[in-house]
A and B are shown apart, each in its own frame.
Chain A
Amino acid sequence: GAGVSQSPSNKVTEKGKDVELRCDPISGHTALYWYRQSLGQGLEFLIYFQGNSAPDKSGLPSDRFSAERTGGSVSTLTIQRTQQEDSAVYLCASSPEPRATGELFFGEGSRLTVL
Chain B
Amino acid sequence: TQLLEQSPQFLSIQEGENLTVYCNSSSVFSSLQWYRQEPGEGPVLLVTVVTGGEVKKLKRLTFQFGDARKDSSLHITAAQPGDTGLYLCAGANAGGTSYGKLTFGQGTILTVHP
Chain A positions near chain B (C-beta within 8 angstroms): 4, 31, 33, 35, 40-45, 48, 55-56, 58, 91, 93, 95, 97-104, 106-109
Contacts and interface: CB of A to CB of B under 8 A. Distances in A.
Given A4-B42, A101-B92, A108-B42, A42 B105 contact: yes
Contacts of B45: 103-104
B100 A106 contact: no
Question: DSSP class of B's interface residues: helix, strand, loop or mixed?
Answer: loop
Interface residues of B, number: 32
Interface string B42-61: 11110010100000000000
A56 B11 CA distance: 35
B31 interface: yes
A35 to B, nearest CB: 8
What 10 A-B pairs are tightest by C-beta distance, nearest first? A106-B42, A98-B100, A55-B97, A42-B104, A100-B94, A98-B99, A43-B104, A100-B92, A42-B106, A103-B45
Contact of A45 (B42, B48, B101): B101
B27 to A, nearest CB: 14
A99 B101 CA distance: 9
B88 to A, nearest CB: 6
Interface string B100-114: 111111110100000
Interface in B5-51: 6, 30-31, 33, 40-45, 48, 50
Contacts of B62: none
